[in-house]
Amino acid sequence: MRAHTVVDSPVGKLTLVAEGDRLAGVYMEQQRHLPPEETFGVRDETPFAETTRQLDEYFAGQRREFALPLHFDGTEFQRSVWMELSRIPYGETVSYAELAARIGKPTAVRAVGAANGRNPISIIVPCHRVIGSGGSLTGYGGGLPRKQFLLAFEGVPGQLSLG
């Protein structure tokens, strides 16, 4: 059974979606590839106490890793990309090509980019930590200004430019 709630954050309102006791979605306002609202389930804050606490800690600078049970709806390939995203450390970035190599598909850079863009659990599964090979901020489902904010918030070194 699905449930959802909406919480405030420094990047705007976030819609949290649960599949049973697992987090299945963290969606930003006006996010690209946003599923239809009717798929979010009933509005109920109950399953989100721990998610909300960990997000609050993250945005307060007190948490660098999330420890939540996750549920991914996607293809096997997409899930492999999303699992690898979870391994990118706080404050670090990788290129799409590096991400493709990490999942054993070095020629699948475009497919990795597409899967990254469809990540249903933003922030917690840190797709914002993937950048273009030249260091540019290419693509982000939540919008490039949010990506730039999240990377700056995490103290990513260097001057990242909007690509």
Active site residues: 127
Exposure b/e, 118-152, CB count within 10 A at least 16 = b = bbbbbbbbbbbbbbbeeeebbbbbbbbebbbebbe
Contact 36, 17 (CB under 8 A): no
C-alpha–C-alpha distance, residues 82 and 130, integer Å:
11
Contact 52, 68 (CB under 8 A): no
Tell me how far the alpha carbon of residue 100 is from its chain's centroid: 17
- The pair of three-digit structure tokens given for residue 136, joined into one six-digit string: 């540019």
Q: Could you give the residue ranges of the DSSP H alpha helices within the chain?
A: 49-59, 76-85, 96-102, 109-117, 144-153
Q: Among 48, 41, 36, 35, which residue's Cα sits nearest to residue 1?
A: 41
